[in-house]
Structure 1
Amino acid sequence: MKQYLLRPTSLHIFVVTTDCNGDCIYCQAKSHQSGGGKYMTEKIAKNAVDIAISSPCQSMAFEFQGGEPLMNFDIIRYIVDYSSSISDKDISYNIVSNLTLLNDEILEYITAHNITISTSLDGPAEVHNNNRTFLHSNHGMYSVVNNKLNSLLEKNIHVGAIQTTTRFSLNKYRDIIDEYMMHNMNSIFIRPLTPLGMAADRWNEIGYTPEEFCSFYKKCIEYIISINKDGHFLSEGHARIFLRKILLQYAENYMDLRSPCGGGLGQLAYYSDGNIYTCD
């Protein structure tokens, strides 16, 4: 159950920029509110990779975050190329993106280097557009994200998606889960709001009580079970992690739910300005 405590740091997060083209109502960063974000340079990226590679762990995960990391894709490319040229370690690469800046050039590169993608899909258009809009406009991101997501799935590129629950989501649990089924996804991660950044500032508008979230989560689980009984397969992330621990005595290496948590021990985060933190 605790074998991960004896393993070296395996997850290395590179915050390649704090800039973003989005204006999500629960954003933790708020970099655009203060006059633009920071961008990681090649020098900082090289130093960060050198430190990450020094971990004695043979299998490692490099994750690119933002802001919107595709706004600094040149540095992502540099980190992938540099790390693969100086090390024979087994490194997996993942980009956490809103997908809106994905183009053919980026798509070709991530396909050639087996880079996976993680994105946010809060539900159907009504829900996603309420939560996630483009910066300096009221236009929701759903139509662009939907098209990009379909393009990735058609090319058999692995895409993971997480859902973030706002007050607007609470009565739309069926619609949210149906959206994931429409994309033929076999997992959904139902995530509560974190009271940081914009979410903290707007909590009275978009937040809820723990009891309200638990009621929403229970409805989601019951609906997912009914879908699975009909012959489909859809798992929920938190349930999978908890049940594997309860029933199988297996502690999945998910940093937020490790005990003690994975900060510092399991992961490090390299910020765009060169500072290093215990987690993202």
Structure 2
Amino acid sequence: MVSMKAYSAHLITGSNQQAQRQLLALRLRSRMSFLQQATPLHIFVVTLRCEHSCPYCQVSRQSTDRSRFDMSEETAMRALDIAFASPAPRIKIEFQGGEPLLNFPLINTIVSTAKVRSASLGKKVDFVIASNLALLDDVVLDFCKSNDVLLSTSLDGPADLHNKNRPRPGANSHELAVAGIRRAKEVLGPDRIGALMTTTEASLDRVDDIIDQYLQLGLDGIFLRPLSPFGFAVKTKQFQKYDTGKWLDFYERGLHRVLDINRQGKPFREFYAALILTRMLSDRPIGLAQSSRSRPWCTGLQLRRRHLRLR
């Protein structure tokens, strides 16, 4: 019975079933067709400076007074040349750091220049700023609203956990992040900001607290993700503080909690599972640009990607 179902679903086939094999080959070509497309996502690391000192930071961050680690306007224009050379009809530019708002004037310049080029070339361009929101103010919010810029931020859980994972002078990282999320939702709209969490050793026993924080802020889902083996996460050995087994236990408990929330009638997604299931059950690509048009956090995912780094 099982083998018949697998056969009818084209999961298995016989060596003499040429038509079925051709159908499977066609499905595979459709599934992998995105590999022939040009990249639509371009990361602009406009500064390595940051006022946070997160021990798991993916980059080799620099202190806020070291402006020589900012991207120059000349480099930014060269990066725009590369981005607009892509044959993709729609591109996405994401601003990262460090904390990109420390070099906000350059972001302003890049966006205004990109919009002019977009109009002349007939190429659609989307923008995302990946920020800790500590420097978010009305000027930045007005800029985002005027230029249709999405925001992506980090939220590791309740105040004590978030501040432990993401220390900054004043020990108020959580306060500023939460205030920024609420203000951005108010000014830009509820779907114009997204949040990502990073699982540290301190997070492993607190998945319910983390999910509760997302629910309290009215966010429509959570992306449960492990540490990325880059930058300070390696230098500070944060990446070695838990193994795959502990991470999977954390993730399983979190996924069960998300399923329980949905059973109670409240739509709330776990986006990592959503991406995996989309890839398994459909021919839709889950590349960052495809996923992130309505999800600002998607381009913040620590997946393998091409960075336009400053030099």
Whether the TM-score (by the shorter chain) exceeds 0.5 is: yes
Calculate the aligned-residue CA RMSD, in Å. 2.1
1:175–1:77 CA distance, 2 compared to 1 (3 A): same
Structure 1 outlier segments of 4+, above 6 Å: none
Indicate the SS of the match to 1:91: strand
**Distance (whole Å) between structure 2 residues aligned to residue 58 and residue 212 of structure 1:** 42
TM-score of the aligned structures, taking structure 1 as reference length: 0.88
**Map 1:27-42 → 2, pairs under 5 A:** 27-32=57-62, 36=66, 38-42=69-73
Alpha-carbon distance, 1:150 to partner: 0.6
Structure having the higher strand fraction is 1
How big is each residue's C-alpha offset from its partner over 1:232-261, in whole Å with a ceiling of 9 and x where there is no partner? Answer: 111112100111122234331248x9xxxx
**Map 1:1-280 → 2, pairs under 5 A:** 1-32=31-62, 36=66, 38-87=69-118, 88-134=122-168, 137=169, 139-155=171-187, 156=189, 158-203=192-237, 207-254=241-288, 268-273=306-311
* Contact 1:168-1:206 within 8 A present in 2 as well: no
Alpha-carbon distance, 1:186 to partner: 1.0
The aligned residue for residue 277 of structure 1 is none
**Distance (whole Å) between structure 1 residues aligned to residue 135 and residue 255 of structure 2:** 33
Higher RCO (CA-CA < 8 Å; seq separation 6+) = 1
Alpha-carbon distance, 1:140 to partner: 3.9
**Distance (whole Å) between structure 2 residues aligned to residue 34 and residue 20 of structure 1:** 6
Greater alpha carbon shift after TM alignment, 108-117 vs 154-163: 154-163
TM-score of the aligned structures, taking structure 2 as reference length: 0.80
**Distance (whole Å) between structure 2 residues aligned to residue 103 and residue 122 of structure 1:** 22
- Count of matched residue pairs: 263
**Distance (whole Å) between structure 2 residues aligned to residue 24 and residue 140 of structure 1:** 13
Look at both structures and tell me which one has the larger radius of gyration over its CA atoms.
2
* Contact 2:153-2:195 within 8 A present in 1 as well: yes
Identity of aligned residues (%): 34
Structure having the higher helix fraction is 2
**Distance (whole Å) between structure 1 residues aligned to residue 234 and residue 64 of structure 2:** 17
The aligned residue for residue 276 of structure 1 is none
